[in-house]
Amino acid sequence: MSTRPVAIVGIGQTNHKSKRWDVSLGGLVREAAFRALEDAEMEWSDIDAVVLGKAPDLFEGIMKPELYLSDALGATGKPMFRVHTAGSVGGTTGIVASHLVAAGRHKRVLAVGYQKQSEGNAQFALGSGQGASMGAGGAFAPYMRGYIHRSGAPEDIGPMVAVKDRQNALKNPYAHLKIENISIEQVKASPMMWDPIRYLESCPSSDGACAVVLTDEEGGKAAAAAGRTPAWVLATAVRSEPFQFPGRDPVRPAGAVDCATDVYRQAGITNPREQLDCAELYVPFSWYEPMWLEAHLIAEEGQGWKMVEAGDTALTGSFPVNMSGGVLSSNPIGASGLLRFAEAALQVRGMAGEHQVEEANVAVAQAYGAAAQYYAMWVVANSLDPFGS
Amino acid sequence: MSRTRNDDIAVIGWSVSPMERHTAKSETQMLLEVVSGAVDDAGITRADVDFTCAGSCDYVAGVPFSFVQNTDAIGAWPPKSDSHVEMDGAWALYESWVRLLLGDMDIALAMGSGRSSTSDPAILYPMEMDPFYLAPLGADHANLSAMQARTLIDSGMLTERQMAEIAVRTRRDAKSNPLAQVSGDFDVEELLAADYVNAPLRLHDMPPITDGACAVVIARADKARELCENPVWITGFAHYTELHNPGMRDLRSSTAATLAAKAAGVDEAPIEVAELQASFTHEEPLLVEAMGLGPEVSVNPSGGPLAANPIMATGLVRVVEAARQIRVHGRHRTLAHSSSGPCLQQNLVCIMEGD
Amino acid sequence: MRTSHERGIAEVTITVESTIKFPYKRSLGPVIGPFMTALAEQRFIAIRSGSRVICPPLEWDPETAAELPRDFVDVGPAGTVCTWSWVSRPTEQHPLDRPFAFALIKLDGADTALTHVVDVESIDQMSTGMRVAPRWRAERLGHITDVEAFVPGEEAITVNGGVPGEPVTMMSYDASITYKIPVSDNTIKAHEATAQGRLVGLKCPVCERIYARDRGFCPIDTVELTDDHEVELPQRGVVTSYTIITPVQYPGQTETEPFSRVMVLIDEIDVVMMYQPLVDVPVEDVRIGMRVAVVWASEAEKADAGRPGNLVGWMPTGEPDNTDPSLANRIM
Ligand SMILES: [Zn+2]
């Protein structure tokens, strides 16, 4: 193996809102980048390369925006790389950045994801500008109904996830949705948007950005020596599968299972539920929490909803999920995957503030995209050898 | 030179689609064919490929998430380790190369595809520019490139006649390229007699509108040796960008091209052939100078982008043409270049060597 | 002389026109905003970065990305053309509807060039180094086109003086791109079949999986599917999953009332038709296991040119529901 250790030493994100009309597009991505650089105690000149991820350019009406944003992100005279893997793009962005360090190409890489949804209209863009757009909710709703039907999960599981994530968001200063005293009754009373998904079981549409500074073993150890705990990237994995073929299972997609199997194997994880301390998963609609707990092998098939019901996935539960409030609380699409990856790193660094999980040593993050067919995952830890192998 | 380091990575197969003004085929169909062609050329099947990465652009396709359909072409069942860049396929090759450098995978496949024929570049490309200061003026690549050409002319670095001579040479060279869309014998005087399209650019200074796709297979050294008699080794690979707004740059040079060529090791040994993504005639001498290529270097023997310009694959086709010079024409060391953004904002250089 | 040019022009293909049109709204932030506000007041401002004066202004130094203090300075209104190009055939996106020049214009006092247009009658009046000044638009919004064009000379052509107004914080950008996308042979055949009241699919010769008639590929075997692979599909099936969508409004939205989309597993054959409309079924009656059959357009409906296709949707057959619990596994 030619892989070198990779450390996350800087994390920043914007204050996510439905309309960040106080900043320009450049200002938005820089707000996240400044915070990441400050956290890493670095200057723009310390960065060797930038990786930018975002979902469709049609959302803001700027084609290949990495060109316009090159100088905003300090990439003048440096490499600027742009990835786009649908909803999983933020995860892919972190992974591509980590590979640039792991392969020895660069010492310090800045990964940035963003979306400024208020400049356009995602529903319009998803329908290619045509009428009767189902939106992402309409596309995923039949999968979630399939899960409910198959697992026999009680109706309240979705609302429970919605409440739990919004409660976590109250502890996250950057989260978009802040719904004080949210209750299951309130969620169930909200309008049914894409049956079985209600309004309050859906993600918001957000403006926001996330930035992560990744560096090599030397950089990671220097940060640790200076009292700034790095998060070490133990493993990364991506998978794609066709959007449709007869018999394809979008409820428990093979790509989701394979991606998890691969990332756990590389990280030396044989029992995810026991060896992982928490998970930050891409849950844009409430029912995806139990679905991913199962497809990513944290729960047995058909048992994910029981973890939700038992409160295991709450911030104080035995296996906290989406401590940040998740996609359900903030959804700047192109940044959403990187926000998951960054939250996992924040947790193992012990820097998650009010939404910190106690004793979080190893965490997994995941993002998915398109027809639940693109997957990106990484496992991070506060040491290079958390299982003492 | 014999290679034993397993960190070395080689091009072992490729395929380029027909280059057409209008294709009736979808991007997926074009990709299906070039992926089949490239894996055949490498003597493998899709199942042998450990990692795939595609380069394409939603705005070229006119559909958000357009690359999702293209997953049909790669053989992603069982699910595949796969990625996508909203960049030319040359950058997809870069990501694939970095992925193989990690050492746990042996074979990767990079693709690029685009159907430029479906929209008017003069309407589409302003969308790529500064959204506040440039896009609302309708400034496209041709408008901005024409200003760069005039800067070179005004500085005495180039004449319109020399630009026409470049067009004549590339079109003549393109005659031996069965994939060329524009080729033939032309007369400089006749070209110079034509009207300007975007003065100082005439039609011959500009690339054709092309639909096309390309796929390249790369492998780590042990696998490359096992599969291929004459692997083409990637010995240097780098890309750089500059600030965006052309009004804030020195348009007489291309800093990013200089940095990329240096980082890829351009001056470590002689380059025999350079395949440059010089989409406008004036970009060729600019890039040659920026990369420090001497007069002995043969530039764009395929005809380059002036002969066929499948946007989002043009750069990856340069890699194929530079590799072809080694595998088919017995050259030893060649260079491929790709570019993106207004006035050569972003530049990539891939240097390859034979055994 | 000419042996060939423009090789490979394909046979005439049927294309469908699709226009992506959207009024984007952009927030300007603390630097572009003041610049646009100044334009509305018929002034140009730049921003200092060390000893350099950058116009149009950015929030950051474009070389170093350093955040710039908001140290604005007036520049212009006249300037010098650094380079230019001539547009013989303007598009609808250009500020002028007659031939004009694009130019990089270094406004007096600035170290970088602003890109804009120069309005002259002919290319002969353009030269590098020429002096130009803005001709301001009468109705200014705080937009880069508040300068209608630059014109030769030293004197700005102002309209009623520069009156300070409200700060400009937003900008609109109306994108409209028309694509002519070739229609695949499989899509044409799919339409032909529905016009004849036939439901057809394509069967992979390798794995025998069946795909929609317009799919074109088996992604498992990566083989192209063509006419040779066409199979007739029964026109009945069972709902395996569904959703009911409450429409949200956006530009181009055509729906106003909640509508359902169902997955239909076709009888006797292993294929699911996804996201199908239901006809004349109250949304509260939609359920997994419901037996349905195809509804084709009536002759009158067929004659309506605005109709997208002849397959209107699916209607309950009235048969008892299919209660097989494994149905829910067949979303695709
Ligand atoms: Zn098949």
The boundaries of the domain holding residue C153 are 25-176
Tell me, yes or no, whether C104 lies in a domain. yes
Asked if pLDDT for residue A120 goes beyond 90, the answer is: no
Assess whether pLDDT exceeds 50 at residue B149: yes
What's the angle, vertex CA B170, arms to CA B169 and CA B174, rounded to 5? 120
Mean pLDDT of the C195-205 span: 94
Sorted by sequence, the CB contacts under 8 Å of residue A141 that are 6+ apart come out as: A194, A195, A196, A197, A285, C243, C245
Nearest chain A residue to B339 by CA distance is: A67
Buried b (16+ CB within 10 A) or exposed e, A126-162: bbbbeebbbbbbbbbbbbbbbbbbbbebeeebbbbbb
Residues of chain C with Cβ-Cβ distance to A246 below 8 Å are: 209-211, 270-272, 332
CA distance C172 to chain B (A): 9
A264-278 pLDDT, tens digit per residue, is 999 999 999 999 999
Q: Both tokens of residue B133?
A: 């200061």
B267 Cβ under 8 Å from any chain C Cβ: no
The answer to whether the CB of C180 falls within 8 A of the CB of C15 is: yes
Nearest CA in chain C to B59: C177
Contact C34, C45 (CB under 8 A): yes
> A291 CA to chain B: closest CA distance, Å?
18
Instruction: Enter the ipTM.
Output: 0.97
- pLDDT beyond 60 at C113: yes
**Mean pLDDT (whole number) for A240-250:** 96
Lowest mean pLDDT among A224-233, B63-72, C250-259, C268-277: C250-259
- Each residue's pLDDT tens digit, A15-49: 999 999 999 999 999 999 999 999 999 999 999 99
Q: In this structure, what are the phi and psi dihedrals at residue C18, rounded to the nearest 5 degrees?
A: -135, 130
Tell me how far apart the alpha carbons of residues A348 and A353 are, in angstroms, rounded to a whole number.
12
Report whether pLDDT(C302) > 90. Answer: no
A contacts of B86 (beta carbons < 8 Å):
57, 64, 66, 82-84
DSSP reduced 3-state for C83:
strand
User: For position C298, what pLDDT does the model report?
Assistant: 84
Short-list C169, C158, C192, C179, CA closest to C43? C158
Within 8 A of C25 by CB-CB distance, chain A residues are 118-119
Residue C1 has pLDDT above 50, yes or no: no
Residue A374 burial by CB count (10 A; 0-12/13-18/19+): exposed, middle or buried? Answer: buried
Q: Is C87 helix (H, G, I), strand (E, B) or coil?
A: strand
CB contact (8 A) between residue B99 and residue A99: yes
B146 with C128: Cβ contact below 8 A: no
Q: Number of folded domains in chain B?
A: 1
Q: What is the pLDDT of residue B53?
A: 98
Residue range A145-204, pLDDT digits in tens: 999 999 999 999 999 999 999 999 999 999 999 999 999 999 999 999 999 999 999 999
Compute φ and ψ for B23, nearest 5 degrees.
-110, 145
CA distances, B191 to each of B170, B210, C23, C108 (Å): 13, 21, 42, 39
d(CA C212, CA C190): 8
Do residues C214 and C190 lie in contact, with contact meaning Cβ atoms separated by under 8 Å? yes
Indicate the SS3 state at residue B59. helix
Let me know if A367 is exposed, middle or buried by CB neighbors in 10 A (0-12, 13-18, 19+). Answer: buried
**Looking at the domain assignment, is residue B329 inside a domain?**
no
| Inside any domain, residue B354 | no
pLDDT of residue A15: 97
Q: What is the pLDDT of residue C8?
A: 39
> What is the pLDDT averaged over residues B36-53?
98
At residue A73, the pLDDT reads 98
CB A361 within 8 A of CB A382: yes
Q: Are residues C202 and C224 in the same domain?
A: yes
In a domain, B77, yes or no: yes
Which two structure tokens, joined as six digits, stand for B3? Answer: 């290679």
Residue C175's pLDDT band (cuts 50, 70, 90)? confident
Alpha-carbon gap, residue A322 to A315, rounded angstroms = 8
Q: What is the pTM of this model?
A: 0.96
Buried b (16+ CB within 10 A) or exposed e, B79-96: bbbbbbbbbbbbbbbbbb
The overall average pLDDT reported for chain B is 96
The band of B171, judged by pLDDT with boundaries at 50, 70 and 90, is very high
Query: In the prediction, which pLDDT does A389 show?
Result: 67
Can you give the pLDDT at residue B30? 97
Whether C56 and C160 share a structural domain: yes
Closest by CA position to B81, among listed A295, A96, A294, A110:
A96
Q: For residue C9, is it within any domain?
A: no
Give the whole-angstrom CA distance, residue C61 versus residue C67: 7
First and final C-alpha spacing in chain A: 18
Counted domains in chain C: 3
Mean pLDDT of chain C: 91
* CB distance C86 to C122 below 8 Å: no
Domains of chain A, start order: 7-121+205-225 (3.40.47.10)
C65 occurs within a structural domain: yes
Q: Which chains touch A (3 or more CB pairs under 8 A)?
A: B, C
Q: Is the pLDDT of residue C223 over 90?
A: yes
Considering the domain boundaries, does residue B322 fall inside one?
no
B311-327 exposure pattern, b = at least 16 Cβ within 10 A, e = fewer = bbbbbbbbbbbbbbbbb
Q: How confident is the model at residue C3 (pLDDT cuts 50, 70, 90)?
A: very low
**How far is Cα of residue A242 from the mean position of the Cα atoms in its chain?**
22
Predicted pLDDT at C21: 83
pLDDT band with cut points at 50, 70 and 90 for residue C2: very low
Among the partner-chain residues A76, A245, A249, the one whose CB lies closest to the CB of C63 is A76
- Asked if C25 reaches chain B (Cβ–Cβ under 8 Å), the answer is no
Q: Are C66 and A194 inside 8 Å of each other by CB? A: no
Q: Which residues pair with C20 in a beta bridge?
A: C177
Helix (H) or strand (E) holding B321: helix B314-327
Residues C227 and C240 in one domain: no
Phi, psi dihedrals of residue C217, rounded to the nearest 5° = -145, 150
Instruction: Work out the burial of residue A306: count CB atoms within 10 Å of its CB; fewer than 13 is exposed, 13-18 middle, 19 or more buried.
Output: middle
CB-CB under 8 Å, B243 with A71: yes
pLDDT of amino acid B327: 97
Residues A39-93 pLDDT 10s = 999 999 999 999 999 999 999 999 999 999 999 999 999 999 999 999 999 999 9
Domain annotation covers residue B65: yes
Q: Confidence class of residue A125 from pLDDT cuts 50, 70 and 90?
A: low
Helix pair B283-290, B255-263: axis angle to 10 deg: 50
Q: What radius of gyration do chain A's Cα atoms show?
A: 19
- Let me know if residue B51 belongs to a domain: yes
List the Cα angle B176/B180/B186 in 5-degree steps: 70
Q: For position A132, what pLDDT does the model report?
A: 60
- List pLDDT tens digits, range B269-281: 999 999 999 999 9
The mean-pLDDT minimum among A245-254, C88-97, C297-306 falls in C297-306
The DSSP secondary-structure symbol of A202 reads B
SS3 (DSSP) at B142: helix
A128: pLDDT confidence band, cut at 50, 70 and 90?
low
**3-state DSSP assignment of residue A359:** coil
Between CA A244 and CA C144 the distance in angstroms is: 46
Element (H, E) at A231: strand A231-240
Residue B319 has pLDDT above 60, yes or no: yes
The verdict on C250 and C215 lying in the same domain is no
Kindly report the CATH number assigned to the domain that includes residue B115: 3.40.47.10
Flag whether B60 is in a domain: yes
Confidence of residue C6 (pLDDT cuts 50, 70, 90): very low
Residues of C in contact with A71 (CB under 8 A): 58, 60, 62-63, 65
Tokens of C124: 């002969």
pLDDT digits (tens, 9 = 90+) for B213-224: 999 999 999 999
**Ligand 1 centre distance from Cα of residue C224 (Å):** 9
Mean pLDDT of chain A: 95
What is the rounded distance in angstroms from the CA atom of residue C328 to the CA atom of residue A119?
A: 39
Q: Does B84 touch chain A (CB under 8 A)?
A: yes
Mean pLDDT to the nearest integer, A129-149: 84
Cβ–Cβ < 8 Å for B346, B239:
yes
Gap between the Cα atoms of A349 and A231, Å rounded: 6
Residue B248 lies in a domain: no
Instruction: Report pLDDT digits (tens) over A252-267.
Output: 999 999 999 999 999 9
CA-nearest residue to A69 within chain C is C62
Q: Tell me, what amino acid is at B314?
A: T
Interchain contact B35–C (C-beta under 8 A): yes
The pLDDT value recorded for residue A121 is 74
For residue C10, pLDDT over 60 is answered with no
Give the tokens for residue A186. 């309130």
- Give C124 to chain A, closest Cα distance, Å: 33
Range B177-202 average pLDDT: 97
CB C218 within 8 A of CB C225: yes
- What domain range includes position B39? 9-119+209-227
Distance CA A130, CA A123 (A): 10
What phi and psi, each to the nearest 5 degrees, are found at residue C265?
A: -85, 120
List the structure tokens of B331: 């050259």
Residue C83 confidence (pLDDT)? 98
Asked if C136 contacts C147 with a C-beta cutoff of 8 angstroms, the reply is yes
